[in-house]
Each structure stands twice: as C-alpha cells, then as structure tokens.
Structure 1
Amino acid sequence: MRRIRTHRVTARRLPAVAVILSGTLIGQGTVIAVSPLLTRAYGPSDFGALAVITALCSILGAFATTGTDRALMVAPTDRAVRHLVLFGLMTSAVVAGAVGAAAWSFRNALAAGFDAPSLAELWWLFPLTTVAISAFRIVSATVARRQRYTDLATRNAVQGLAQTAWNLLAAPLGPVGLLAGLSVGRLAGVLGSLPGSRRRMLEASASASASAPASVSVSRSDRMAATLGAHRRFLLVTPWSALLNVLGQQGPSVLIALALGSTSAGYVALTMRVLGTPVGMLADAVAQWSGGVFGRSVRSGTPVDRLLRRIVLRLAVAGAAGTLLVLVFAPTAFSVVFGSQWTLSGTYAQVLVPAFAVQVVASPVTQLLSLLGRQLTQLWWDGGRLVLTSGSVLVTTAAGASPGVTVAALSASMVVAYAVVLVLVRRAVRAHRIVATSTVLAPPGTALPVR
C-alpha cells in the first residue's frame, strides 16, 4: 500500500507545465525537426504565402470567437460555459463564411498584392484556416478552464504531428502542402480535445438538470441571453482587443510582404518560425496552465500576485538563456541546418531574439488584464502595440531602409510594447489584491461580480 501511495503522491507533484510542455515538445518539436526538409521541398515564396495566410487568418480567427475564449475562464457555471461555447462557434462560422466570400472575390488581388500566385488558387484556405483557429481557441479554453493538463498535452502533440504529416505527405501537391498545414493541425487538435471535454460537459449538464427545481421553467434562449448579458464586456470589447492583439503580432509580417516582396518576407518568416516555435511552446504551455489557475483565482477572489511574480522570474531566466544561444550560434546554425541560402535568416534571428525573450515573459500573463476586468486597458495596449510594431515597418520601408534595418526597428518596438504590458499587468494585479484582501471576511458563497 505504501508503494501505491508514494506513486500517487509523485504523480500529483508532477508540474502541470511539464505535463503540457511534454505534449508541446512532441508536436512542435516535430515541426522544428522537419524544417530542413520543408525548406528543401518549398521555396521562400511559399513560406511568404504561408506568412500571409497565418497572419490574416490568425487575426480573423481571434476576432471570430467574439471574446468567448476569454469569458470561458471566468464563467461561473458549466451551463454558462456551454452557452459561451455555442455562441462562439456560431459566430466563428458566420465570420468564416464572410471571409470565404471575400477571399474568392479578391483572390487575384491577394495573389498580386503579396506576389504569391498560389493564393489565387488556394483562396479557400482563408475561411478554412479562420474557422479552424477560432474553434481551436474555444475548445482550448474549455480544457484549460477545467485544468485538464493531460488533455492539453494530447492536443498539443496531435496538432504538431498532424501538421507535420500533412506538410511532408502533401509536398508533391505543391504549395498547398505547406499552406494547409496550419488548418490541418488546428482541426486535428480540436478533434483530439473533443472526447474528454464532451464527456465532462455532458456529465455536468446531467448533474445540473438533476439538481434544477422542477417548478422553474426558463427557456433555453432566455438562459443563453442571460449568460451573454452577464459577460457582455467580454463580447463587446474583447473581440476588438483580440483583433488588435493578433494584428500586432502578425501585421508586421504582412506589411513586410507587401513592402519587400514574398522572398524577403520568406526569410523573415523562417526566422519567426524558428524563434517563435520554442517561444510559443514555452509561453503557450505556461499560459494554458496559468489560465486555468488565474481563472479559478479570479472566480474565488484569491490574489494572484505571488503566482505572477514566480512566472515572470522563471520565464525571464529562460528567455535570457535562449537569447545568449541565438546571439552566439544563429547564423552558423541556420546555414548548416537549412542550407546556405538561409544564412540571412540567422542574422535576422540575432536581431529579433531580444524581442522574443521579452515576449516569452509577458505573453502568458497578459491574459490577466481581461480576466481581472481590465478589458479596456487590454484594448488600449493592443492598439498601442499595433501602432508601434506596424509603424516601425511602415516608417523604415517608406524611408527606403534595408530589410535589416526594418527588422531591427520591429525588434525594438516589440521590446518596448511587452515591457509596457508587464507594468500594466503588475498594476492590475496589485489592485486585485487590494480588493481581494478587503473582502476576505465576506460570507462563504458570496457571488463575485462578472466583468
């Protein structure tokens, strides 16, 4: 019996981030591992087109959820969760339909504007990738809310493996083998997350139905309307914040493609892919874990300042170590691993790595602004970052600066933006602590205001 008990204690002490990261390493590690094969199967123009699809569809997919992915974290009941999931999927389908119509109408203009002929034939990837990204965000939020770390790890592994398999097996088909990988991976991740999430939601639904008073008769539409009304700030403000957020992330890549052409954008895209993959793996793993913990703390009124401090310090150490490695080895590593024609991407990596180091620290904790009811603060910061990052690209390219100068300006603007959001998050957490400590003697079961 002692052996069994000891084994259980050890399993419980396994860090949640490590569980999530293990799945991410399998999935995204595979994506990185096959990158040398992809750079030989596809050209810079294909990677430039991929950057365009990734940027535009990430922006549209984030908007299409209408903030339900953030509202899910603080929704008070499982019934509210179901209502928000349904509403988010409905709005995602509507937005994807509109995107499809626009992509078909302007398919030739897209191909000419981005110097990527494949976009004229593959216009249908825009609505498909948009709905895949929005569904992925919604399903991921439901799993993170329930702190089902094994499910998150499985989803991360399935996503990366499916994307990699498609990129390799579909290479004979041409650019679609690379460009459709994003949607294939996201849809596979959604399907990998559904069985466990669906079972738990059905169990919660049955429990709620059994405990509901028989005399109360409220229509389903009225209950959904009440849920949406209670979370209206998320639905009204967060979509625009999410839109600006992804614009700030992906917009510069689109502007670089427009100003410098798909070839130069391809070099930058590979740099973003190589640096962004490990940064994304670590930041997403921490965000998926902390999102559930933060959401639970906000629902219960518990301070989160200690958790914030621990996350920031540990991620800062990881970011500093990664920066040193890139500064020393990037150009040589890119030339050896990807081929001599990609050495320029290694130089870009040295320039951009400080921005990614700050991003890995700030990205997982930025969600606290909306979770703590600071949606407007989040909106203003997202807008400010968009102005900084996109403005740096526009100003330098308009002045006729070299691509290297443009990349350096982009890196500097990202550092400033993420440093500012860390300050804003810290201020919001301090204000939350004051409120939490002032209500610590409130009677058990006191409802917290929905923000």
Structure 2
Amino acid sequence: MLKYIKRLTQNKFVRNVAIVATGTAGAQAIAMAFSPVITRIYSPDTFGAMGTFIAIFDIISPLAALSYPLAMVLPKHDSEAIGLAKISLWIALLTSIAITLALYFFKAPIIHTFNLQSIEPYILLLPITMFFSVLVAITGQWTIRKKLFNLKAKSTIIQSLIINMMKSGLGLISPSAIILIGTTSFGYLLQAGLTWAGIRIKNKKEPKKIQSNIRFKDLLRQYRDFAIFRSPQILLNSVGQSLPILMLANLFTPASVGFYVLARTVLFVPSNLIGASVAEVFYPKFVETLHQGKSGREILIKACASLAAVGCIPYLIIIAFGPWLFSLIFGDEWREAGEYSRWMSAWLFVVLTTRPIIAAIPALSLQGLFLVFEVIAVAIRIVAILLGYFWFDSALGAIMAFSLSNVIIYSALTALIISKA
C-alpha cells in the first residue's frame, strides 16, 4: 500500500492535478472565509443584483471569442497558438463593441423584455466583463498548453484574496451592487494580468524565437468548428444549467429555488475542485497522445475511472446523510435542500466522472456531434422537469426527474465519446 502511494505521488500527472486542485481549493477556501463578513456588509437585494448580472454574463459569454481560445492547446507549434490568441482578442473586441452598441441603443426594450431592472445601472459592464473573461481564457489556455500549472494555481489564489479584500473593504464604504459587480468584473482582468505577468517572467528565463508565416484566415478556417459548433454548445449548456432555476420559479415557490441553488452550490464543489483540475491536466496530455499517433481510449477510460473512484465517497455520504447534514450545517429550514441533494448527487457524480470526456471532444474533432447531443439533452431536461411536475406535483419530484435525466444524458455521452476515441 505504501509502495502504491509513493508511486502515485511520484506520478507527474497526479502531481499536476494536485497543483491545480490546490489553487482551486485555496481560492474557494479564501472565498468561504470572507463569506461571513461579506454577507453581513451587503443586503440580499444587492446579492440578487450581482446574481442576475452573473447569470446573464454566463449565458452570453460563450459568444465573446467564439470559443477560439479553447483551440490554443491543439496546435503542434506555439506560433499557431499565438495566432489563435490574437484572433480571439480581435473577435472579443468586435463582439464587445457590438454588444455595447446594442445595449446603448436598445437598453429600454432589453431591460423590459428580460426583466433586468435590478442591473439596469450596471448593464454596460456586461461587454467589458466579457472582454476581460477572454483575456482569462487566453492566458489560462496558454498555461495549460505549456503545463504551467503552478503559475495558474498561484494566480488563482492571489486573485481570490485581493478581490475578496476589495469586496469587504469597499463594501464598508459603500455596500452597493456596483461594488460587488465592479469587483467581480475587475477580478477577470486581475486574473489575466497576474497570469500574464507570470508567463512573461517564464519566457524571460526560457527565451524562444517564434516565427510563423501562417495567416489568420487559415487558422480561422482550420479551427472553425469551435465557432460553429462549440460556442452554440456552450451556450445551450449554460441555458440548460439554468433550466431548473427558471422552471422551479415558474412552477413552484421561491423557496424551492433557494433549496436547489444551495444544494447545487454544495454538490458542485467536488466537481469544480477535482474534476476541473483533472480536466485541465488531462487535456494537453490527451492531445499529446493523439499527436503521437496513439489511441486515446485507454487514457480516457483511466481518467474517468480514477475520478469515479475518488468522487463516489463524498456523493455517497450525501446520499446517505444529506438531509441530516444540511439541517445540521445550514439549519432546520434547509432540510429540504438535503433531500434535493440526495437525488442531485447521482447526477453530479456522473458530471464529475465525465470531465475528461468533455475535455477530449475538441481533440477528437467531435464538436458538431457534441452540439447535436446538447440540443437533444436540453429537450430531454425540459421534458424531464415537466414530467416530474405533472407526475409528482412537487418540486422534489421535478428535481428527481431532472437528475435522473442527466444521469442518462452524461452516461450516453461517455459511451459515445469512448467509442470514438
């Protein structure tokens, strides 16, 4: 057993995962430490405005650079990756300007149609935040490409510390929505700046001359499947993830939405902490395997199996003791969220295990197939929630049906991608 543990700790892949996970865990720990302070400074209405802003941002952000930054890991030569970064910046600039003009000239009808009165004074920050998020995506994908996982972890922790200090300090002066939204927007710029500074220092230590005559038009054509297929897929996925909140709010009570949001926030921690870390390290390794002309099936299965072995522990605990744990930690009024979490655990366990599957899709050039799959998945989720509503006539029944539909969806996706690998 000790020999196995020693071999595991010496494994480069495992060490890289641990580094990324440490950065994510550190950032989350800092945010959790500041939460009791921040929630006492800002009112629920202020948090609601920020939540609305982030929800709209999450839906429109896939359009920012048409997902071209995700392609930066794929080229064999750094010159092509740099070309993709420049393309991403130009697209982000154009889309940000276009959205700014649309919001400026059609602000009133947009606010009225989508009921966005709570963020009306800050709505022009959306395109600015979009552009900053592209900077994060570009610098982040470069660190993944160059396997600078230690740099990524450090910048994530430092950014979390600075932003939460700003929210607390500025909130004491003016506890308003503009502070929360403004610091959230600035957080993307800060993250990109910290990562870029680290990349520059790294490049000075290891100077390399990168020359290329490749044209932007060739790169746009070569990786056009990211714009044509991946961007709509991410957009559909964002809408799909918001479905329970939107439909629970319309079919049931606001309390049911609160139960769902709390349960999802807690249950996504293992997926964000472990799954995202594994996916970021797995992606360049998988691409390298394909570049060597080898089959990616074996490494894909191993990555999914490893996540399943690790993830089963926290989710089994929630399934067994969810209502009791939620009642103990959050109060008796949140016991219903624990009931939700029991059913949602099966869904989010499958989400965790499929992180490498999602990461492998661009490398396997299956963007079009994934888009079709996402369209079908959104339709299935809508039907599942409605069936749960009409069959059980309860919010818990709708969550049960939605969760089981996601188990089927992600299991089918896993089988499909492994067969194509």
Match status 1:356 vs 2:358: no
Aligned with 2:209 (options 207, 210, 215):
207
Q: Show CA shifts across 1:285-320 (max 9, x none).
A: 011101111122233323222221221111112221
d(CA) in 2 for partners of 1:347, 1:47? 25
Aligned with 2:384 (options 370, 373, 392):
392
Residue correspondence of structure 1 range 306-317 to structure 2 within 5 A: 306-317=298-309
User: What SS does the aligned partner of 1:366 have?
Assistant: helix
TM-score by length of 1: 0.78
Residue correspondence of structure 1 range 53-202 to structure 2 within 5 A: 53-103=53-103, 105-106=106-107, 110=111, 118-172=118-172, 173-180=175-182, 182-198=184-200
* 2:176 partner letter: G
Shift of 1:98: 3.6
- 2:367 aligns with 375
Identity rate, percent: 21
* 1:286 partner letter: V
Q: Is contact 1:66-1:91 (8 Å) kept?
A: yes
Residue correspondence of structure 1 range 211-290 to structure 2 within 5 A: 223-257=215-249, 264-290=256-282
d(CA) in 1 for partners of 2:267, 2:42? 19
C-alpha distance 204-107 of structure 1, shift in aligned 2 (>3 A): farther
* 1:417 partner letter: I
Q: Show CA shifts across 1:119-163 (max 9, x none).
A: 233323432333333332232112111111112212332343344
User: What SS does the aligned partner of 1:75 have?
Assistant: coil
Aligned with 2:397 (options 395, 405, 408):
405
C-alpha distance 388-80 of structure 1, shift in aligned 2 (>3 A): same
d(CA) in 2 for partners of 1:46, 1:259? 25
- 1:4 aligns with none
Match status 1:293 vs 2:285: yes
Q: Show CA shifts across 1:396-433 (max 9, x none).
A: 5689943323322322222121111111121111xxxx
Shift of 1:325: 2.0
C-alpha distance 401-43 of structure 1, shift in aligned 2 (>3 A): farther
Shift of 1:321: 0.7
d(CA) in 2 for partners of 1:389, 1:21? 30
Aligned with 2:310 (options 318, 338, 347):
318
Q: Which region of structure 1 is more displaced relative to structure 2, 105-114 or 275-284?
A: 105-114
* 1:122 partner letter: Y
d(CA) in 1 for partners of 2:262, 2:101? 30
Shift of 1:372: 0.7
**Unmatched tracts of structure 2, length 5 or more:** 1-8
C-alpha distance 397-425 of structure 1, shift in aligned 2 (>3 A): same
- 2:3 aligns with none
Q: Is contact 1:52-1:254 (8 Å) kept?
A: no
d(CA) in 1 for partners of 2:111, 2:247? 13
- 2:27 aligns with 27
* 1:186 partner letter: Y
Equivalent pairs counted in the alignment come to 410
Q: Is contact 2:237-2:374 (8 Å) kept?
A: yes
TM-score by length of 2: 0.83
d(CA) in 2 for partners of 1:49, 1:256? 19
Q: Which region of structure 1 is more displaced relative to structure 2, 252-261 or 66-75?
A: 252-261
C-alpha distance 10-400 of structure 1, shift in aligned 2 (>3 A): closer
Q: Is contact 2:287-2:363 (8 Å) kept?
A: yes
**Unmatched tracts of structure 1, length 5 or more:** 1-8, 213-217, 430-451
Q: Which region of structure 1 is more displaced relative to structure 2, 45-54 or 361-370?
A: 45-54
Q: Which region of structure 1 is more displaced relative to structure 2, 259-268 or 157-166?
A: 259-268
C-alpha distance 348-180 of structure 1, shift in aligned 2 (>3 A): farther
C-alpha distance 151-253 of structure 1, shift in aligned 2 (>3 A): farther
- 1:435 aligns with none
C-alpha distance 181-303 of structure 1, shift in aligned 2 (>3 A): farther
Q: Is contact 1:369-1:377 (8 Å) kept?
A: no
Q: Which region of structure 1 is more displaced relative to structure 2, 178-187 or 73-82?
A: 178-187
Structure with the larger RCO, 1 or 2 (CA within 8 Å, 6+ apart): 1
